Amino acid sequence: MIAECKKCHKKYKLNPDMLDVTFKCSQCGNIVHASSPDFRAGPPKGGSKKGLLVVVGILCLLIAGAAAFFFLDLFPKPADDSPIVLGCPLAREHADGRNGERGIKLAVEQINAQGGVKINGSKRRFQAVVIDTKDLDPGVPVSTALEVVEQLIVEKKADFILGGPVRSEAALAAMDLLSKHNKISILTTGVLTPKYHALIEEQYGKYKNCFRITGEAKWLVKEIVTCLSNIKDTYHLNKMQLMLQDVAHSRAGGDIIAKIATEQGWTITGKAVYPTGSKDFSRGLKAAAKNGTQVMLIWMDMPEASELIRQWYKMKIPALPFGSILSAAVGPDFWEETNQAAEFCLANVVNAGNVPSKATSKTMAFYKAFEKKWGIAPEGYGTSSSYMAPFVLKDAIERAQSLETDKVISALEKTDMMGVYGRIRFGKKNHQVIPSFDPKEGAVGSIFQWQGGERVVVFPPSIAKSEIKLPPWMKTGN
């Protein structure tokens, strides 16, 4: 079959089996259309059946396509019901990581039981995938935690990162990785460094997918010094000794509190610093008894600090033990572990809900649900904040009606909901949860005191269940 361009008259020899063809002229670019006489006249009457079969085949394809279109329209594609994967990089062998894992898993279980996340006409479950970062283990490099974050994103196909890394250095290093993969992260435990939200604000375009739903060191210090001021005014105490662990955050935190306390009228009677793993605290305790110390400010995250409280109680040192950071004392079993020596000891658990209180209508509901599921009460920092993160994320996804990063970021920035530890909102540019002494206005903390075997909230006043009590062997007003 011969086809001719009507514009430049170039001729083309075509395969005789081609019934109908359209193409562009290679010489002038004009569109050339050619069809065989057989195609124009219809099927041959007695010749080859090849053309007829081709025509029939084309008609069948057209009919099949029309039918498929009709049925697809009549029966639309089922809604996406695949799980939304929450990648959780956590130090599973340590309290902060363990608390985070249990809090997240309880929330995921409750959300899924209520129908999951409603998005674009479907109900999708959350799926929590936890991998141990080991970032709180001695000698483990930051790179180990980064490998876990990468594994969660690349291999486990995490849609969001929740929980950690728990160690501050690891979380800071992970920010670039989250930016590279364009993944939203909500820190829920550990990582108290103010540098985290400062970096988000300084480089918002790069780190805008990073959020923190728990407290941070600057606000923690403000809570501590405000509580100390209340103690000073109520009981007329003004002499303080520092009991610190020989690590950077303890030394720095202790020095900051000492500076502010001095400005508020406290006299710093001394400073005792102990290497990590120490079990004999008699030197500092004897000094406190000798120099008239009335409050021992303790900043230690090592488990051996429980020995400090046992020795303080046994020696009847006339000073109130105040754990600004005292990880050993926050768990529900500490009373029994110390054979009641914990009585009168104060400790900070950062967010309400980590010990019993009525901060909001949701606080004790969470506390009891946690106790029922895990067979133990919340052990301290990182529990209530980790529990709230999936609920906050669910709320943001449902308002965005999307899993797209930018849309969910925008929704998270507009978060305003009442949670276990107060009103949950994020700073618009630093993505730090907004704190407050009043749960109606922001995320509220908790400082508690061991009283009669119970962890009793004594600060802030808006949620306190009791006044601070002094040991009977202590004199006041010196």
Residue 430: inside a domain, yes or no?
Answer: no
Q: Are 207 and 251 in a shared domain? A: no
pLDDT of residue 478: 44
Residue 51 pLDDT class (50, 70, 90 cuts): low
pLDDT of residue 73: 45
Q: Are 322 and 450 in a shared domain? A: yes
> For the segment 350-365, what is each residue's pLDDT rounded down to a tens digit?
999 999 999 999 999 9
Q: Are 268 and 166 in a shared domain? A: no
What percentage of the chain reaches a pLDDT higher than 90?
Answer: 74
CB-based burial, 142-165: b 16+ in 10 Å, e otherwise: beebbebbeebbeebebbbbbbbb
Place of tokens 């025509």: 55
pLDDT of residue 374: 97
pLDDT of residue 30: 76
pTM of the model: 0.81
List phi, psi (to 5°) of 470. Answer: -100, 150
Q: CA 30, CA 328: separation in Å to the nearest integer?
A: 84
> For the segment 245-271, what is each residue's pLDDT rounded down to a tens digit?
988 778 888 899 999 999 999 999 999
Say yes or no to pLDDT of 408 above 90: yes
Q: Which of 357, 382, 378 is nearest to 457 (CA)?
A: 357
What are the start-end ranges of the H helices in 155-247?
168-181, 195-202, 204-207, 217-235
Q: Are 337 and 241 in a shared domain? A: yes
Residue 65: inside a domain, yes or no?
Answer: no
pLDDT of residue 6: 79
Residue 61 pLDDT class (50, 70, 90 cuts): low
Residue 67: inside a domain, yes or no?
Answer: no
Residue 53: inside a domain, yes or no?
Answer: no
The residue-averaged pLDDT of 430-455 equals: 97
Residue 52: inside a domain, yes or no?
Answer: no
> For the segment 280-289, what is each residue's pLDDT rounded down to a tens digit?
999 999 999 9
Q: Are 139 and 197 in a shared domain? A: yes
**CATH code of residue 379:** 3.40.50.2300
The residue-averaged pLDDT of 176-184 equals: 97
Q: Are 251 and 390 in a shared domain? A: no
| Cα–Cα–Cα angle for 190, 196, 199, rounded to 5 degrees | 170
Say yes or no to pLDDT of 25 above 80: no
Q: Is the peptide bond before 439 cis (omega within 30 degrees of 0)?
A: no
Q: Are 323 and 454 in a shared domain? A: yes
pLDDT of residue 3: 73
Q: Are 174 and 106 in a shared domain? A: yes
The gap between the terminal CA atoms of the chain, to the nearest Å, is 116
Pairing status of strand 346-348 against strand 447-451: antiparallel
The DSSP line for 121-175 is: TEEE-EEEEEEE--TTSTT--HHHHHHHHHHHHHTS--SEEEE---SHHHHHHHH
Number of domains in the chain: 3
What token pair was written down for 376? 């133990």
Q: Note the maximum CA span of the chain.
A: 123
Q: CA 166, CA 92: separation in Å to the nearest integer?
A: 10
> 95-113 vs 363-374: helix axis angle to the nearest 10?
100
Residue 18: inside a domain, yes or no?
Answer: yes
Q: Are 369 and 340 in a shared domain? A: no
Q: CA 353, CA 439: separation in Å to the nearest integer?
A: 12
Residue 434: inside a domain, yes or no?
Answer: no
* C-beta separation of 53 from 35 below 8 A: no
Residue 138 pLDDT class (50, 70, 90 cuts): confident
The residue-averaged pLDDT of 432-461 equals: 97
* C-beta separation of 126 from 114 below 8 A: no
Residue 452: inside a domain, yes or no?
Answer: yes
Place of tokens 């305790």: 285
* C-beta separation of 7 from 28 below 8 A: yes
Say yes or no to pLDDT of 77 above 60: no
Residue bearing the bigger pLDDT, 343 or 327: 343
Q: CA 282, CA 317: separation in Å to the nearest integer?
A: 10
Q: Are 265 and 133 in a shared domain? A: no
Pairing status of strand 210-212 against strand 185-187: parallel
pLDDT of residue 37: 54
Q: Are 451 and 311 in a shared domain? A: yes
What token pair was written down for 468? 């601070």
Say yes or no to pLDDT of 401 above 90: yes
Say yes or no to pLDDT of 122 above 60: yes
Q: Are 320 and 451 in a shared domain? A: yes
Range of the domain at 232: 218-349+446-459
Residue bearing the bigger pLDDT, 235 or 29: 235
The residue-averaged pLDDT of 209-213 equals: 98
Residue 464 pLDDT class (50, 70, 90 cuts): very high
Say yes or no to pLDDT of 324 above 50: yes
Q: CA 202, CA 219: separation in Å to the nearest integer?
A: 19
